[in-house]
Chains A and B, each alone.
Chain A
Amino acid sequence: MQSRCLTVLPVWLFGSASIGMCAPNPSQWVPARWDGGPLELARRAKDKTLSAEAREAIAKWYQPATLDLLNGTPINALLITFSIGASSEAEAKQQQLAGKYARMARERGVAVLGVVYPGADSLAVARGAVESRLDGLVLDGEFPAGFAAKVESALRARNSSVPVVPIWRDTASARAARLSLLAVEGVRPSARNLSDMGIRAGPSAEPWIESNIWLVKSLRGGPEWRPIWINQQPNPGLLGDYVRCVADAAVAGGRWIVAPDDDLRSRLFRREAGALGTWRDIATHLKFAEDHAGWRSFLPYGNVGIIVDAASQDPEVSNEYLNLVARRQVPYRLIARSALSQELLAGFQAVLAPDLAAPTGIERLLLSDFADKGGLVVAGPWWGNVPTVEPFAEIRIGKGRAVVYKDNPPEPEAVSKDLMELLEPDVLGLSVFNVPSVISYVSTREKQALIQVLNYATLPSNRVTIRFNGNFNAARFYTPECAPINLPVHAAGNNRTELLIPQLATWGAVLLE
């Protein structure tokens, strides 16, 4: 595990709360939700699912012993219950407890951030954070407009530079936010049978996968890595869900805000062996992610580009393109609409612009030129020549083509499915076989390619065949649970390399050189 102590602290971290402390750099924070105390019980007063054991664990969570749970784990940033907008007495009592706990945590090199819920008072929260010497504040929920700015302003007025981290619910706004640490609400990673969801699907329908890989990738923003936190609660009833949550956030370089559910928390509090085993598994996967932090500097791979339009009329639909295309194992890179240029497009072979709102003449020209030179443009009706019967029409343009959908916006599921037929394997770059419950993510650095695969099923996935563009002579397979092994590689024709992963439990990464 990396040292939690930094040799050099960044200037922005120096605030009244952190001077002289050994709290880590926010970019290195490995966060965990550490809800507890009387205020947490008050917040969940109406929660009928809360057992007596869980209630006790929450009430006593800020006893010093719970910090021992961090031993041997990379977790170094705790998100503690701080303000829910309760009475000033209740809030003060909690913040006093939080301050004491935060001091003990910092002595271990662990940062502590206060979680603030809607109803809280911005000035009181800022004052409390400074008095409790917190390392930051996390805003969880729907707050009035300007609340975060007010808290930040109040903090700065008290000479504190600790960060205020809102957990974004709106992905488009999060993408536009120029923050060095981004936290977003994610989904609970899972795979489900469509038939179990009451959906009649065709014989080739894959299980429905909920994943955050696309989300983390879409928030990256640029070539430089920045920490992205995914906030979501796993399914307590499913073993293995926790490690999947860790991996699901980490594959594209994010971090899951570790969130033990009530049952695990109460059993951890009682130091039950099974719970400690689950906790160790979580730690193993977190450590795997942090041990391979270098992979975060690899850049997303893809010959396919998806234009992300900040002015999209329906951001949910725009996100669904990113989500579903990833689910079809199509490696892609994001193209910010504002960055569209001939030079940028020259690095792609296909570009998706299904929901471009009111494209300008220059944008049309750029995309037409791209197609003319041999590229594929996937567009909505805005392109023109809209088919009247068929769901889409293919129009030849010079050496390339445009695929124009009838519907506005084109249905994301249809677009993602059609891509598999519209694009040749060498344009896709990656072909992965036997992965109905798996999502892959490819990134590259110089002559290395990293192909990560994450299994969302509870059973292992066997015999996963991978073909990737390029001639590679070595493949090393990394998993959290085993030492790395070399995989035999074969030339697959058409300048591609083929390899076989014999078994994938949850998370695996193939490094091709």
Chain B
Amino acid sequence: MEKFCNTFSRRDLFAVSGLAAGALAVKAQESGLSVPAGPVSVAKVVSYDLDLVSQFEQMFDQIGGLGQRVRGKTVAMKLNLTGAMGRGRQVGLSAGQTHWVHPNVVGALTTVFAKLGAKRIRLLESTFRKRYGAPLEDTLLNDGWDVNAIKNSAKIVEFEDTNGLGTAKQYSTLKVKTSRPYIFSAFSVNHSYEDCDFFVSVGKMKNHEELGVTLSMKNLFGITPELLYGLTPQPPGASQWVRERVFHYGQVAPPAGVPQEIDLTSDRYEGWRMPRLLTDLCGARPIDLAILDGIETLIGGESSGMPGTKHAKPGLLVVGANCVSTDAVAMATMGYNPRAGRHEAPFRLYKSPKDHPAEQLVPPGETQQYADNTALMGEAAGLGTADLSRIDVRGVPIKHAMYDFEAHWKGQAPV
């Protein structure tokens, strides 16, 4: 990590001439904000075959218990199923071992919520399929999930593909309730994200090509329905991917009738936009419980199709009621400084000119790019603290849990 700290790319020089990167890292308390700081539980779990039900019960107890908040309620879990087809794999490995949350984690959580008295448990994700309407369960079968076992682990277990309307007749509009919406002041989403009493982000502890890391906050990017946001025609030259052209790059506006961007003149660079957008999403659909599966995962990118990615077994679970704090602790267990700025690992990124629009490489051709720290953006918006000194870490201490992702990252960049 050390070697990156004093290395500025040409883009960084441009960036700091505008909004100083360091300013983003201002501690919340210094900026006068009072941000929540819930406890976070860390556990070392070497295998998905261990008793994860007992493990989660213990971790929930460590963060103060969930019974009151869950009993008799509808619990919705947004699962991180990157790509959401289940076909993207490394040879011989399941998606749950690399870039998806593992079915044993989901099964255990379903059981625990049922034991805590949840009335209904809903499993949600937006799939990547052009043909909408095939059950989400079929997507899960594509990774060998025992869907029936999960269904039988609670009285009412429902699955919904939230990439479109699903079972509702209209989308729900969720307003961003943070102190400072950055990109959008509201989002239109599948009804499931409104029709629940207790919302859980079940993320995978991974690196991310454009954002450095992807954790519980990043997981909420998947609540945006492509079938709605993709209604605006694709202009020539724009990304073929709906979410990229609307959200990452801001190349096209959302369709009429859907909440629009606050400031169309704002920066179009995804490393600037996405951390802010994710903060807005977490402000629109607050996370009641953040769960991060790092028992097995992928290092070097968010999906197995990326060159340089590598399967790893960090053996980690991180659970917390505050998404910013939970992500900050998770970053620390991954060997990263949760208060790192855009010049530091993991936010100093390599972007291949082949796979990114030319305008995303500034100056043109520059492959060393950056992302802002999503946790710090969340902190600045008042969602929670990313300051480890203010977070009560329970269970396994960070120093004993740590798995150095960066040391294991082969790297995509021709270093």
Which residues of A pack against B, CB within 8 Å? 191-195, 198-207, 389, 421, 431, 433-434, 436-437, 456-459, 461-465
Which residues of the partner chain A approach B86 to less than 8 Å between Cβ atoms?
Answer: 204, 433-434
Q: Are B304 and A195 in contact (CB under 8 A)?
A: yes
B interface residues, how many (CB within 8 angstroms): 37
B128 at the interface (CB under 8 A from A): yes
Q: Are A195 and B309 in contact (CB under 8 A)?
A: yes
Q: Are A459 and B92 in contact (CB under 8 A)?
A: yes
Q: C-beta contact mask, B49-80 vs A, less than 8 Å → 1, else 0?
A: 00000000000000000000000000000000
State the 10 A-B residue pairs at the shortest beta-carbon distance, nearest first. A203-B83, A201-B305, A203-B303, A459-B92, A463-B144, A433-B141, A204-B85, A434-B144, A436-B89, A457-B92
Once the chains are docked, how many angstroms separate the CA of A437 from the CA of B87?
Answer: 9
Q: Are A200 and B129 in contact (CB under 8 A)?
A: no
B142 at the interface (CB under 8 A from A): yes
B3 at the interface (CB under 8 A from A): no
Which residues of the partner chain B approach A205 to less than 8 Å between Cβ atoms?
Answer: 87-88, 305
In terms of DSSP, what is the predominant structure of the interface of chain A?
loop
Q: Do A200 and B92 contact each other (CB < 8 Å), given the known contacts A389-B236, A433-B141, A464-B144? A: no
Give the shortest distance, in Å, between B299 (CB) and chain A (any CB). 12
Question: In chain B, residues 210-253, which have Cβ atoms closer than 8 Å to a Cβ of chain A?
Answer: 236
Give the shortest distance, in Å, between B43 (CB) and chain A (any CB). 25
Closest B residue to A456 by beta carbon equals B91
Give the shortest distance, in Å, between A378 (CB) and chain B (any CB). 15
Q: Are B91 and A457 in contact (CB under 8 A)?
A: yes
Which residues of the partner chain B approach A433 to less than 8 Å between Cβ atoms?
Answer: 86, 138, 141-142, 144
Q: Are B92 and A206 in contact (CB under 8 A)?
A: no
Q: Are B305 and A203 in contact (CB under 8 A)?
A: yes
Which one, B89, B138, B352, contacts A200 given CB within 8 A?
Answer: B352
* Interchain residue pairs with CB less than 8 A apart (19): A195-B305, A199-B307, A200-B306, A201-B88, A202-B88, A203-B82, A203-B85, A203-B99, A204-B87, A204-B88, A204-B305, A206-B87, A207-B90, A389-B236, A433-B141, A436-B87, A458-B91, A464-B144, A465-B141
Which one, A203, A458, A464, contacts B302 given CB within 8 A?
Answer: A203
Which one, A191, A193, A204, contacts B128 given CB within 8 A?
Answer: A204
Give the shortest distance, in Å, between A178 (CB) and chain B (any CB). 39
Which residues of the partner chain B approach A200 to less than 8 Å between Cβ atoms?
Answer: 305-307, 352, 354-355
Q: Are B146 and A203 in contact (CB under 8 A)?
A: no
Closest A residue to B89 by beta carbon equals A436
Which residues of the partner chain A approach B94 to less than 8 Å between Cβ atoms?
Answer: 434, 462
Q: Are B131 and A421 in contact (CB under 8 A)?
A: yes
Closest B residue to A434 by beta carbon equals B144
B308 at the interface (CB under 8 A from A): yes
Q: Are A195 and B307 in contact (CB under 8 A)?
A: yes
Q: Are B352 and A193 in contact (CB under 8 A)?
A: no
- What 13 new A-B contacts, CB under 8 Å, besides A202-B305, A459-B91? A195-B306, A195-B309, A204-B83, A204-B86, A205-B305, A206-B89, A389-B236, A433-B86, A436-B91, A437-B91, A457-B92, A463-B144, A465-B144
Closest B residue to A424 by beta carbon equals B131
Which residues of the partner chain A approach B169 to less than 8 Å between Cβ atoms?
Answer: none
Once the chains are docked, how many angstroms separate the CA of A457 from the CA of B97?
Answer: 15
Closest A residue to B354 by beta carbon equals A200
B379 at the interface (CB under 8 A from A): no
Q: Are A434 and B142 in contact (CB under 8 A)?
A: yes
B143 at the interface (CB under 8 A from A): yes
Q: Are A195 and B89 in contact (CB under 8 A)?
A: no
Give the shortest distance, in Å, between A454 (CB) and chain B (any CB). 14
Once the chains are docked, how many angstroms separate the CA of A207 from the CA of B305?
Answer: 9
B400 at the interface (CB under 8 A from A): no
Closest B residue to A208 by beta carbon equals B91
Give the shortest distance, in Å, between B360 (CB) and chain A (any CB). 15
Which residues of the partner chain A approach B129 to less than 8 Å between Cβ atoms?
Answer: 421
